[in-house]
Chains A and B, each alone.
Chain A
Amino acid sequence: EAGVTQFPSHSVIEKGQTVTLRCDPISGHDNLYWYRRVMGKEIKFLLHFVKESKQDESGMPNNRFLAERTGGTYSTLKVQPAELEDSGVYFCASSQLGDRGNEQFFGPGTRLTVL
């Protein structure tokens, strides 16, 4: 069974440009999460989808970030326009529908560098 996949693995963009990150969860996992780790800091929660609905987006830093999960399958996270402080590693995770203690399976992450 394929794990969580993320694309691209690494993105380098100029400040002010737009970048779109993609996450494909494990097939059948209705829960999908985005996290990020900026340099030297903790991994922080961004948002949580249940199928195509945003269940919790309390961690989204500002309105430059837009996440979608059309059809309840893969998800995209768009940063527009990107700022220097957006640099970091963006992780996607998925879990089965169920209680909140379910194991979250993580993708390899996308390393975003904003110059």
Chain B
Amino acid sequence: EVHLVESGGGLGQPGQSQRLSCTASGFNIGDFAMTWIRQAPGKGLEWVGVIRSRSYGATTDYVASVRGRFTISRDDSKNIVYLTMDSLQADDTAIYFCCRGRTSPSAMPHYWGQGTLVTVSS
């Protein structure tokens, strides 16, 4: 059974960095594209970025609003995906969800974690 658990959320200061983790079980993260999606308080869903599977070169893509500030990486030996957020801004405040696609290359979210809340405030 696919299971995703996010952690690392909390209060962050503007301009600082924060790293979220997504611990996966039931499958090997290296075999699938892994995606981060966020939801600001009271707002809709926003796709943040993806790290592709090993067979697709583990390349990454990001939404324009976070490109250059956020980095998705993974540790296949621990089965953990990371979202490192640099230069945090107030509008990065959101619940961050880790997702996996139905098939190996798919960036479309099929399985979801429960999310972790990031609050950016001074």
* A and B physically associate: no
